[in-house]
Amino acid sequence: MIGPKAYIHSDRLKQNLWNIRRQIGDRMLMVVVKADGYGHGAINVASVLAGEPGIIFCVFTIAEAKELREGGISNKILIFSKMHRKWLDQTIEYDLWVNASAMEDLKALREFHNNTGDCPVVHLKFDTGMTRLGFDAGQADTVYQFLAENSNLPVEGIYSHFATADEGDLSYAEFQLKQFNTIVKQGNEAGINFKYTHCSNSGAVLNLPKSYFNSVRVGMLAYGVAPSDEVSMDVDVEPVMSFCGPIVNIRRVKPGTQVSYGGVYTTRSDTNIAVVQMGFADGFPRPWYENGYVSYQGQHFKIAGRACMDQFMVDFGDVEPSVGEEVLIFGKKDGNQIPVESIADEIRTTTYVLLTAIHGRTERILI
């Protein structure tokens, strides 16, 4: 198919994971594949990693979890989203773990168990500083009392999420970790021995080793991308995605030729302008056109004018690429390399936004 392609490097994905394992030691590894595997394709990622020892997958919605199951993934799967009564029966059918983040969730689980004699595995989510989903720290005793009175509920995990573990100043993350340690200790004192205790995200894997507990969650780091520009990348990883587009047309133009909408780019000399079949509808970061470039045969060439919905243009000067050849937008492939982090920094966004924007007509190819 002619069009944009996201090449997913399976060898790098596996190697990244093994390098992360060297960092975290003998702990359970929870790989986050929500948002279609951060744009990489959840089934692609999960199928590559499913056979690796002790891998648990994390998603946000039940639809994402069902997609993995229907794609042949049998590993344990934790759903991060707010729990909903209406789909509890599906968690049994698909063997999924749920996130309990409020007393109403625990009561719904009790009711479901009383009515069906069954219940999904539960992970308790405590809010320690994100002000998002989660029990308040002050509710811990109430939660544990409820569980003591309803010991038939299969609570196996407890977790929280850092707000600033990928920043240079770790004081707030330390505050969150202290709260979480207290909450876990209260649970242990109440007679609950959690099989899975997890708080680390990618930033904490790099920045805060004492937050590892017995399980570690990784998202962006597994995909070979720095979670922020404030962390030291002490784990050796490579980008798993190479985002490329094909050249579909080349024309030689004169000096003074305007290119693309608004005429904001004007050629200064005789030059080769190539049309690349990829636009912002496919995930191309539109603001990147102002100072952006692509990589072709190891060299960088300037993007010429505004990116369109379906296409953008590149000024190749006197270089003569061939129709059908590809240019690299970001990633690392065939001697071409542009870090997605550099684009995020230039256009003042995050790598998370750029990667999860890869959609539409972009074909993901596992290599």
Active site residue 261: yes
What's the Cα-to-Cα distance from 270 to each of 62, 134, 266, 296, 320, rounded to whole Å? 55, 61, 11, 20, 13
Whole-angstrom distance, CA of residue 330 vs CA of residue 244 = 7
What's the Cα-to-Cα distance from 354 to each of 32, 106, 285, 345, 347, rounded to whole Å? 17, 36, 7, 11, 10
Q: Residues 314-320: contacts with CB within 8 Å, 24+ apart? A: 314/247, 314/273, 314/274, 314/276, 315/259, 315/265, 315/267, 315/271, 315/272, 315/273, 316/250, 316/271, 316/272, 316/273, 316/274, 317/269, 317/271, 317/272, 318/271, 318/272, 319/272, 320/250, 320/272
**Per the residue annotation, which of 178, 185, 210, 261 is the catalytic one?**
261
**Per the residue annotation, which of 5, 7, 34, 125 is the catalytic one?**
34
Active site residue 296: no
Residue 64, phi then psi, degrees to nearest 5 = -65, -40
Q: Please, what is the Cα angle at 92 between 90 and 97, to 5 degrees? A: 95
Q: Contact at 8 Å (CB) between 148 and 188?
A: no
Catalytic residues: 34, 261
